[in-house]
Each structure stands twice: as structure tokens, then as C-alpha cells.
Chains A and B, each alone.
Chain A
Amino acid sequence: QQPVQSPQAVILREGEDAVINCSSSKALYSVHWYRQKHGEAPVFLMILLKGGEQKGHEKISASFNEKKQQSSLYLTASQLSYSGTYFCGTSYNTDKLIFGTGTRLQVFP
């Protein structure tokens, strides 16, 4: 039931864009995105509920394709502060939140 994230790792230069994907084999109720910096706790970025919505703040946005049970996280004009591991979390109802294995993003000057 663990969602599948791709790619496993991304290396970028400042200013470049990246897309991280999250897919599930089961019908999703919601998709969460979190970022974890090294040695710290995961921090919430956004939630998308079923309905195919798109959300975003600043240069980070996400979409949720309910038909394909997929979500994508878009990072545009990346900054050094974007470095970290990104996790998607999926819920199939209101009970459990299951996380993917993470995508490690490194941004270099």
C-alpha cells in the first residue's frame, strides 16, 4: 500500500525546475507532501484532496490526478533552501497516512 515515488534522487543547479511524482495502486482520498531536511523532522507543505485540484505556494505547487491516482510536486526556479528529502503521504480514508520512500533533492549553487 506504500505509494511509489519517483525519482529516488534529483540533483539540480539553482534556478532549475524539478518534478517529483507519487503514485498509488488504490483509490486515494488525499495526498500530502512533506519536506525533511537532514537531521530534522518532516515539515508539511500541502494537502490535496480528491477532486483533481492543484495547489501551490510560492514556487512549489502540486497536482492530483484522481483518475490515475497520481500526484506530482513541482518545484520551479529551485533555491538552495529546497534541498532535502520530499515525502508524499497518501490516505485512502480518514484513518491512516502512508508515506512513500522519499525523493532526495539536492540543489547546488
Chain B
Amino acid sequence: EAQVTQNPRYLITVTGKKLTVTCSQNMNHEYMSWYRQDPGLGLRQIYYSMNVEVTDKGDVPEGYKVSRKEKRNFPLILESPSPNQTSLYFCASSFGGHTEAFFGQGTRLTVV
């Protein structure tokens, strides 16, 4: 089954404790991206990757890191999480930035 898998689905952590949210897709998509969703602000792009070893900033990259060492995986790293990073995060993949995007089930992160 074609899918984008995020883990964990829910995470509560403390300020400053490094964390990684994993994202994996099995559709051989070149393009992967991370979004955060906050009430009233829609889906805002954090980072995107057009292929292995190629990543670029989205609209809200501050406080986040990503890596794309393999085509199927695109982890989101928060080196020192802060409460303003409490949000719902979605990973998405597609063949290109302009083609149909498939979303993971989301990760609800709370930073206390």
C-alpha cells in the first residue's frame, strides 16, 4: 500500500530536549516536505527536499533541521525544542513540488 509513515503520532517533550520525527515513503517520490499546522494559519512549509542530499528552507524553517540521506526518508529534527514549536506536523511526498502530495498521518507535538 502506497503510504507516508510518520512517527511518533503523539509526543510530549520538555524544552531543550532534542527530538526527531521520522518520515518514510514507499512511492519512490523525489520530493518530500514538512509542514506545521496551527489554528488559523493553515499549513506552513518548514523544509522541503527535491531529491537525495538536496534540501531547502520553506517559509518557517527557524528551529528545525532536516536531512535527506536516502530517497525514502526525510526526518525532521528539533535540536532544542521550545514551546512555540508545539504544533501538528505533517510530512508529505510527491513526484514534484507541483504534483499531487501524499500526507502522513501527522505528529502532534507538545513542548512544555
Contacts and interface: CB of A to CB of B under 8 A. Distances in A.
Nearest to B38: A101
Interface string B82-112: 0000000010001011111111111000000
Residue in B33, B42, B59 whose Cβ sees the most chain A Cβ within 10 Å:
B42
Contact of B90 (A42, A89, A95, A100): A42
A99 B105 contact: no
A10 B36 CA distance: 24
A104 B51 CA distance: 34
Given A41-B90, A41-B105, A95-B50, A100 B100 contact: no
Interface footprint category on B: 20 to 34
Contacts of A32: 100-101
Interface in A78-99: 87, 89, 91, 93-99
A44 interface: yes
Interface of B: 33, 35, 40-45, 48, 50, 56, 58-59, 90, 94, 96-106
Interface of A: 1-2, 29-30, 32, 34, 40-44, 47, 87, 89, 91, 93-102
